[in-house]
Structure 1
């Protein structure tokens, strides 16, 4: 199975034990990515007794497989948010993500973070019109972007929007720094601790080890929430997968880039332990819908060699991230009927800043502190009436794949989440579920939820 550049170059890893006894705590956090770790850090600093459990190892999921861009420039987003949410809410989205970037800069040490410019670029007349529309949104919100033609890349670029002094991070090393701070603040962390069942009336988690965790508050940072169906979030999240490849480079780029039109590419360099790496990302598709995914890697490998003249390829990996119907993540109470259960998800591939922003929102809710972004990020904000079309689209996909999969892929293993037939992913050597994004290793064990039980191979 592919391994990301970040996981391969992590600091020597501190191993945390599996949980082998019954525990009680103020707050239990499920999920050991940047979102869960940030929640543990914020809450432990406030004096809460925090337990974080991760079914595999810390930072091995979306965080460890990201592009590592810590920026407020989240592709073409602000013009769309202005139209949907108005000026005040769109400005708020920008400001809390900007606060997250500043927080990252204050936490990071050594080569965990590099200050760099973020650049959106167009390659066509249509793309340039999109950029002009986005620049108008920047001006209305007060985002200090610069429109022009600013590029060091060996490709044809028509126009750019540059946002100065943003950040790129080594997401795993940065996450390891945050883990250290969380533990120093008093958080208890357990790896290889698998949650099988939840009794939300009794505030109990039941583990695969047959132990239990009694909690007062529960925070689900599991990428795709295990209990999402209760709050109907399962009908409101689509899941996309994209691919990243890296190669040794002679020198670092001055900026980091993302295309707004086709071919859709994300580009940056990283300097790790005296070596420079060039990262190229793209070739997205809906998770679980393609069997022969190696073709996506091959296309990016070809571009590294032919366009960027880089021959020493080091890594190829992929990542997936849920997206809400209105582009803003969910961070808050899962539903009004369960005020002690919180979810954090739907980052739309911009989980580094949004993880930190969402963790601040949830931790403020738990300690009783007002957070001005809590309503904007609330999972309750998207009633079915407002986004019925997207809900029906996602639901329709599930029904189609459930029925069609059982007819056309009769020998494929059945996902243990809701019974859909999985697809083999040849590039990553995983079984992927097209219904809700669960992923399983070659041996059938769970790699990513919402499934909690292994495949019956």
Structure 2
């Protein structure tokens, strides 16, 4: 499965990336992580603190899969609104999950502070606006739920929005607890930190076969064998068939990055921006003053001309910010996973002991990966985490 197509922006921001050897011998460990993208790198960084004998393998290079196409918006709000999760799971579980997402952003911030390498991590405000008049009632209800349960949010009417942005919308929710990051830099920096603290990392190492025994789990690669007590599949969308996550949906999303634009009138605090429509457009700026805008999700098997999609995204950008004269510097498409209930698949395999999955499907993938690392760490060390039933595979 080709995870992305076109010219990616984030890999151009890194020169002389650290490399890791290929596995060429037999080895044993306590925990094997398969996949060196954002999920695997966060997991490796976490386990490094707990002194578990950990091995991470990546069939390509660190961060070169879906992570390199990620737009790097970090939000506690989800594709599924809090009020929708309350209807689905009840108030206690829904609010707990949203607070876990908020805590995950704080934990990502703390991790970033420990890294030697630059990641462009920055705390940001976020603006979620109603795409049309029909969404006002639901957006107001969402705001009231957020406030009721202690989330820092402001409700903006049309007049307030017009004072802050160059476009208009009937209503919106403004929050101040989110963040943005260069995801490719971040994954590389996390992996490097993990390696410096005892995690063995191997690139260009693909699992060719596996055998699950009661005593241990055995994985064969082209040039070596790995025996482990626990395995974490952090291979994203490539894990779909084995994990049997029937509620998952794979689609294709499109993104452009503009040439640098140093003056952005009508964009309050360079906030993250997204909308209530599904599929939705999402926007952010970068450290070097580019604009990233993405969306236009389509069926996985219906890839349209990249140039055509890029032009549509640029047109949307100019509709929102007519005084910003932008041109496309990079454009790409990528496979994007979501779930029917808006939650990730994180937890034990329903059949095999010692086999775990961290599948951060949804627009909040990096945040899901952080909270997922906490869940899986507790499952491995203690056999339990309070959120394990919320994110379990079989639900």
Smaller-chain TM-score bracket: 0.7 to 0.9
Residue 183 (structure 2) pairs with residue 168 (structure 1): no
1:131 to 119, 139, 150: 139
State how many pairs are aligned: 374
- Structure 2 contact 261–326 (Cα < 8 Å) conserved: no
User: Partners of 1:231 and 1:315 in 2: how far apart?
Assistant: 33
Gaps of 5+ in 1: 383-457
- Structure 2 contact 59–206 (Cα < 8 Å) conserved: yes
User: Partners of 1:260 and 1:88 in 2: how far apart?
Assistant: 24
1:192 matched residue in structure 2: 204
User: Partners of 1:131 and 1:73 in 2: how far apart?
Assistant: 12
2:170 matched residue in structure 1: 158
2:195 matched residue in structure 1: 183
Cα distance, 1:305 vs structure 2: 5.4
Cα distance, 1:92 vs structure 2: 1.2
User: Partners of 2:360 and 2:326 in 1: how far apart?
Assistant: 35
1:266 matched residue in structure 2: 282
1:106-158 CA-to-partner distances (Å, cap 9, x unmatched) read 22256621111111011311122231232132134332211114544432222
Cα distance, 1:231 vs structure 2: 5.2
User: Partners of 1:51 and 1:278 in 2: how far apart?
Assistant: 37
1:256 to 272, 275, 282: 272
Residue 311 (structure 2) pairs with residue 295 (structure 1): no
Give the TM-score of the pair, scaled to structure 2.
Answer: 0.88
Residue 42 (structure 2) pairs with residue 58 (structure 1): no
| Runs ≥4 residues deviating over 4 A | 228-231, 304-307
2:247 matched residue in structure 1: 236
Gaps of 5+ in 2: none
1:118 matched residue in structure 2: 126
Cα distance, 1:86 vs structure 2: 0.8
1:84 matched residue in structure 2: 88
| Structure 1 residues 229 and 318, CA gap change in structure 2 (3 angstroms) | closer
Residue 102 (structure 2) pairs with residue 98 (structure 1): yes
**RMSD across aligned positions (CA):** 2.2
1:352 matched residue in structure 2: 366
- Structure 1 contact 334–341 (Cα < 8 Å) conserved: yes
User: Partners of 1:358 and 1:260 in 2: how far apart?
Assistant: 26
Give the match's secondary structure for 1:105. Answer: helix
User: Partners of 1:212 and 1:302 in 2: how far apart?
Assistant: 51
Give the match's secondary structure for 1:163. Answer: strand
Cα distance, 1:310 vs structure 2: 2.9
- Structure 1 contact 147–160 (Cα < 8 Å) conserved: yes
1:245 to 235, 246, 256: 256
User: Partners of 1:260 and 1:278 in 2: how far apart?
Assistant: 20
1:323 to 313, 328, 338: 338
Cα distance, 1:282 vs structure 2: 1.1
2:150 matched residue in structure 1: 142
| Structure 1 residues 338 and 43, CA gap change in structure 2 (3 angstroms) | same
1:280 matched residue in structure 2: 293
User: Partners of 1:268 and 1:364 in 2: how far apart?
Assistant: 34
Residue 391 (structure 2) pairs with residue 366 (structure 1): no
User: Partners of 1:3 and 1:224 in 2: how far apart?
Assistant: 20
User: Partners of 1:156 and 1:85 in 2: how far apart?
Assistant: 34
| Structure 1 residues 307 and 81, CA gap change in structure 2 (3 angstroms) | closer
| Structure 1 residues 56 and 243, CA gap change in structure 2 (3 angstroms) | same
| Structure 1 residues 270 and 230, CA gap change in structure 2 (3 angstroms) | closer
- Structure 1 contact 19–190 (Cα < 8 Å) conserved: yes
2:329 matched residue in structure 1: 314
| Structure 1 residues 310 and 263, CA gap change in structure 2 (3 angstroms) | farther
| Structure 1 residues 2 and 225, CA gap change in structure 2 (3 angstroms) | closer
Give the TM-score of the pair, scaled to structure 1.
Answer: 0.77
Give the match's secondary structure for 2:198. Answer: coil
| Structure 1 residues 230 and 65, CA gap change in structure 2 (3 angstroms) | closer
